[in-house]
Amino acid sequence: MNATDIRTAAVLGAGTMGHGIAHVLAQIGVETRLFDIAAGPVEKGLAMVRSNLEAGVAKGKVTAADRDAALSRLSGSTKIEEAVRGVQVVIEAVPEKLDLKRSIFGDLGNRLGPDVLLATNTSSLPITAIAEATKHSERVVGMHFFNPVHIMKLIEVVETSKSSAAAVTCAVELGKRMGKEPIRVQDAPGFASSRLGIAIGMEAIRMLESGVASAEDIDKAMVLGYGFPMGPLKLTDLVGLDVRLSIAEYLSRELGERFTPPKLLRDKVARGELGKKSGKGFYDWKE
């Protein structure tokens, strides 16, 4: 299990994170298969990769030749058996549902040999519980990417008590090969990034809820005062209020009431105000 030997990869889930991961893998020379359960999401994911590469060309950050080469390495599939055939790594990026991820990893364990690295892109779910569902759980790690994947430099490599040194090293080196800066963390609730991000995000929402300041000024405080590239409320809009609510509820159960989601967050999610993807969250994105 060696990152330099990875020539073929499968990415499961063609949504925001999945197509971003597939984009970067194809760009570094890996034949990449993007899988989803229906043709529509696969086609949309492939179109987004093409669009992002076109934007890179327009900005002078990607050559036309590199764009074409990356796209030639990328294909889509709605058949899991085709997507994972002959791969050296599978990165799962399906919705944050533990039962779904366990089912997928159980299936992968039956299909793939013990030398295939299995990684989950979950931002908060326990890697140990996912790994337990598969054969050879020592080859399972977390590879938590950040949105947009082709731009953000951080990757969080999460290891369980059963993760082999070879699997962790392979994930770290693959992350470096993808142009990322890996950090290694243990399988603890929220890992490092989600735990800190949710703590700041929930407090920012509580401040807005109690009228301390406007969303814009709370965000400006963190951008100008602490050097954040983006304020916590705008980031919540980009991630999705529903996604952050789910993570906060999980961390609240695991770590205590300091992560309890504010009523304002629950109310917005109930109204369908999910952030950028719905057109409204803490900001109006329709403008």
pTM above 0.85, yes or no: yes
Query: Is the residue at 152 inside a domain?
Result: yes
Q: What is the pLDDT of residue 54?
A: 96
Task: Please answer whether residues 174 and 91 qualify as being in contact, where contact means their C-beta atoms are separated by less than 8 angstroms.
Answer: no
Dist CA 179 CA 264 (whole Å): 38
Shared domain for 164 and 233, answered yes or no, is no
Domain that holds residue 53: 3-186
What's the domain count of the chain?
2
Query: Is the residue at 287 inside a domain?
Result: no
Per-residue pLDDT reduced to its tens digit, 32-58: 999 999 999 999 999 999 999 999 999
Shared domain for 141 and 9, answered yes or no, is yes
Task: Please answer whether residues 241 and 266 qualify as being in contact, where contact means their C-beta atoms are separated by less than 8 angstroms.
Answer: no
CA distances from 145 to 61, 79, 153, 171 (A): 21, 24, 9, 12
Backbone angles phi, psi at 88, to 5 degrees: -105, -15
Q: In which residue ranges of the chain is pLDDT below 50?
A: none
Q: What is the pLDDT of residue 41?
A: 96
Shared domain for 203 and 104, answered yes or no, is no
Sheet holding 181-186: strands in order across? 74-77, 31-35, 8-12, 89-92, 117-120, 140-144, 154-159, 181-186
Shared domain for 20 and 137, answered yes or no, is yes
Last residue of a domain, one of 142, 167, 186: 186
Q: What is the pLDDT of residue 160?
A: 96
Shared domain for 159 and 34, answered yes or no, is yes
Q: What is the pLDDT of residue 2?
A: 83
Shared domain for 172 and 40, answered yes or no, is yes
Element (H, E) at 252: helix 241-255
Dist CA 265 CA 118 (whole Å): 34
Q: What is the pLDDT of residue 222?
A: 97
Shared domain for 98 and 67, answered yes or no, is yes
